[in-house]
Amino acid sequence: MTAKSATELVPILLNRLGEKYPNARYELDWTTPLEMLVATILAAQCTDVRVNKVTKTLFQKYKTAQDYLDTKTAELEEDIKPTGTYKQKAKAIQGACKVLVEKFQGDVPQTMDELLTLPGVARKTANVVLNNVWNIPSGIIVDTHVNRTSQRMGLSQNDKPDAIEKDLMKIVPKDRWTFFGPAMVLHGRYTCTARGPKCGECMFNDVCPKLNLDSGKDDE
Number of other CB atoms surrounding residue 160 within 10 Å:
11
Q: Which stretch binds ligand SF4 (CB under 6 A): 23-31, 126-134, 175-183, 202-210?
A: 202-210
Give Cα separations from 217 to 37, 48, 144, 177, 213 (angstroms). 25, 17, 8, 25, 11
Nearest approach in angstroms of CB 43 to ligand SF4 is: 22
Nearest approach in angstroms of CB 154 to ligand SF4 is: 9
H or E stretch covering 148? helix 144-152
197 binds ligand SF4 (CB under 6 A): yes
* Catalytic-labelled residue, pool 79, 89, 143, 167: 143
Nearest approach in angstroms of CB 23 to ligand SF4 is: 21
Q: Which stretch binds ligand SF4 (CB under 6 A): 38-46, 84-92, 115-123, 205-213?
A: 205-213
* Catalytic-labelled residue, pool 89, 124, 206, 214: 124
One-letter identity of residue 137: P
Nearest approach in angstroms of CB 171 to ligand SF4 is: 16
Q: Which of 153, 155, 183, 185 binds ligand SF4 (CB under 6 A)?
A: 153
67 is catalytic: no
Nearby residues of 206 by Cβ (< 8 Å), 6 or more positions away? 1
113 is catalytic: no
Q: Residue by residue, what is the 3-state secondary structure of 34-51?
A: HHHHHHHHHCCCCCHHHH
- Going 15 to 111 to 90 to 147, the CA torsion angle's sign is positive
Residue 218's region, left for phi above 0, alpha for psi from -120 to 50, else beta, is beta
210 binds ligand SF4 (CB under 6 A): yes
145 binds ligand SF4 (CB under 6 A): no
Nearby residues of 209 by Cβ (< 8 Å), 6 or more positions away? 3, 4, 152, 153, 154
137 binds ligand SF4 (CB under 6 A): no
Catalytic residues: 124, 143
Residues contributing to the site for ligand SF4 (CB under 6 A): 149, 152-153, 191-192, 197-199, 202, 204-205, 208, 210, 213
